[in-house]
Amino acid sequence: MLIVTDEIRIPLEELQFTFVRSSGPGGQNVNKVASKAVLRWNPAASGCFSQQEIDRLFLLFPSYMTKAGEMVITSQRTRDALKNKLDCQEKLRTILQVILKKAVPRIPTRPTKGSVQRRLRQKSRQSQKKQCRKKPESGDW
């Protein structure tokens, strides 16, 4: 069981793990041992999430999603396949906790009187600076 929150738990039977050869450090074993973990999971087939949460998953994490709607997470941080498998599960848990967090709606506010005055003063200073750069008209001199 992958525990995401107290209410949401994903059965490990839904998660498909494969192991492939990893790039990076490994010495002589790098070409012999399959230690990179690849986690595949179909969120639509899982009954744990609403369609709105699945849509949010596609919106916030498109690089993890395939066209078939499957989520693919890889890990090759360590040389140990079991540690990489656990790392994939932790990445999935973190991603799911992000999509479950409700966004706080923004309350529109008005700019303060002081900030408006500062902005207008700065604009007039900038305007004066640029006016001084102009060539004088023929009747001015």
Query: pLDDT tens, 54-76?
Result: 899 899 999 999 998 899 999 98
| Average pLDDT of every residue of the chain | 87
CA angle (77 as vertex; 71, 79 as ends), nearest 5: 115
Query: Which pTM does this prediction carry?
Result: 0.68
**Ramachandran region, residue 5 (left: φ > 0; alpha: ψ -120 to 50; beta: rest):** beta
Q: Give strand pairing partners of 75.
A: 37
Mean predicted confidence (pLDDT) in 85-113? 92
Assess whether pLDDT exceeds 90 at residue 45: no
The answer to whether 43 touches 92, Cβ cutoff 8 Å, is no
The answer to whether 24 touches 9, Cβ cutoff 8 Å, is no
Assess whether pLDDT exceeds 80 at residue 27: no
What DSSP letter does each residue of 26-69 carry, written as one string?
Answer: -GGGGGT---EEEEEE-TTTSTTS-HHHHHHHHHH-GGGB-TTS
Question: Dihedral sign, CA of 59, 41, 7, 98?
Answer: negative
Assess whether pLDDT exceeds 70 at residue 26: no
The answer to whether 115 touches 64, Cβ cutoff 8 Å, is no
Fold of 2-100: Double Stranded RNA Binding Domain (3.30.160)
d(CA 37, CA 17): 7
Mean predicted confidence (pLDDT) in 39-63? 88
